Amino acid sequence: MSTKVLLIEDEPKAQQHLKNLIRNSEFPMAILACLTHVKEAVRWLKEHPRPELIIMDIQLSDGLSFEILDEVPVDVPIIFTTAYDEYAIQAFKTTGIDYLLKPVTQDSMDVALKKYDRLYPNSKIDWSFKNLEALQQYRVNQAPAYRNRFLLKAGNALVPVLTNQIAYFFRQEIVFAKTVDGKVFPVDFSLGQLQSQLDPKQFVRLNRQLLANFSSIVKLRSSKPGQFSIDLQPAYHEQVQISQERSSWLKRFLSGES
C-alpha cells in the first residue's frame, strides 16, 4: 500500500524535482496534493483527511511553513527541505524527522524515506518519537540554548519574568503568557516561535492554543477513548483537549516512561 504524501513547495522546478525523487525511491508513495502557499496548505489540511507524511519547504512565498503548524494541529511526520540550515532546531521541535538542504539529492531523499519507513512501519503516528533521534543525529555535538527569562510588557512598564515562572502561553487573537501566580502578559512571539525557544523537557505544545509548562499540568481527565482533557494550574478559561497521539505520549512522559 502506498504512503499518502502531501508535498508543499512553492517553486515549480523544485516541486517537479521533489516529485521525481519521491517517485524514483524504492518506497511506494502516492502524492495527494502539491501545495505552494501557507494559506493554501492550512485550508487543505482543514478540509482533507490527514496524510501519512508531509514533505515541505520551510520558506514559502507567503511565509514560513512553521506558520502552517501554528494554524493546524499536525501530528504526522514531516521531512523539511530548505536552502538554509538556520531552522534545524525549530524544525525538529515539530514532528520533523529529517531536514534536507537544497539541492536535495536522490540519496538524501532515499535516506529520509528509509528513516520514515523505519520509524513508522505501519503508518501509525507516535508523536513522542517525532524528533529525538533526528535532532541528535543533526546536532550531536551541539546542545541548543533555551531561553530562561522574558521581558514582558505590563502597561507602560517592562517586567522581567523567569521562564520557570510561566505556567503557559496561550493564543487568543494574540499570544499571552500566564505566570504561576495568575498574572497575564502579552507576548510578541507566535506559539511556534516560542516553541523553538523553550526547552522541550519543560514546555509542551498541547494544541493550537496552548504551550504549557509541564509543572502547570495538574490532572489528566479521560474524555474520548484514549484521549485526555487537561487541568492546568492556574486554570485555563476553557477545556483543554489534546489529540489521542499527544495524550498517549503525555501520559508516558509524565509517568517517567519517556
Task: Please provide the DSSP assignment of the chain as one string.
Answer: --EEEEEE-S-HHHHHHHHHHHHTSSS-EEEEEEE-SHHHHHHHHHHS---SEEEEESEETTEETHHHHHHS---S-EEEEES-STTHHHHHTTTEEEEEESSPPHHHHHHHHHHHHHH-TTS---GGGSSHHHHHHHSTT-PPPPP-EEEEEETTEEEEEEGGGEEEEEEESEEEEEETTS-EEEESS-HHHHHHHS-TTTEEE-SSSEEEEGGGEEEEEE-STT-EEEEESSPPSS-EE--HHHHHHHHHHHTT--
Backbone φ and ψ for 114, nearest 5 degrees, come out as: -65, -40
Burial class (CB in 10 A: 0-12, 13-18, 19+), 133: middle
Predicted local distance difference test score (pLDDT) of residue 122: 57
Cis peptide before 234 (omega within 30 of 0): yes
Q: 119-137 pLDDT, tens per residue?
A: 876 554 444 444 555 555 5
pTM over 0.85: no
| Cell, residue 229 | 482533557
CA distances from 31 to 12, 35, 52, 219, 245 (A): 15, 11, 10, 41, 24
Q: What are phi and psi of 119, to 5 degrees?
A: -80, -30
Q: What is the pLDDT of residue 124?
A: 43
Distance from C-alpha of 55 to C-alpha of 8, rounded to nearest angstrom: 6
d(CA 230, CA 251): 11
- 59 forms beta bridges with 64
In the chain, the domains with their CATH numbers are: 3-138 (3.40.50.2300), 149-254 (2.40.50.1020)
**Model pLDDT for residues 68-121, shown as the tens digit of each residue:** 999 998 888 999 998 877 888 888 888 899 999 988 999 999 999 999 988 876
**Residue among 92, 78, 76, 91 at smallest CA distance from 125:** 76
How would you classify residue 11: left for phi > 0, otherwise alpha for psi between -120 and 50, otherwise beta? beta
Q: How far is CA 162 from CA 166, 195, 208, in A?
A: 7, 16, 24
Low-confidence ranges of the chain (pLDDT < 50): 124-130, 140-142
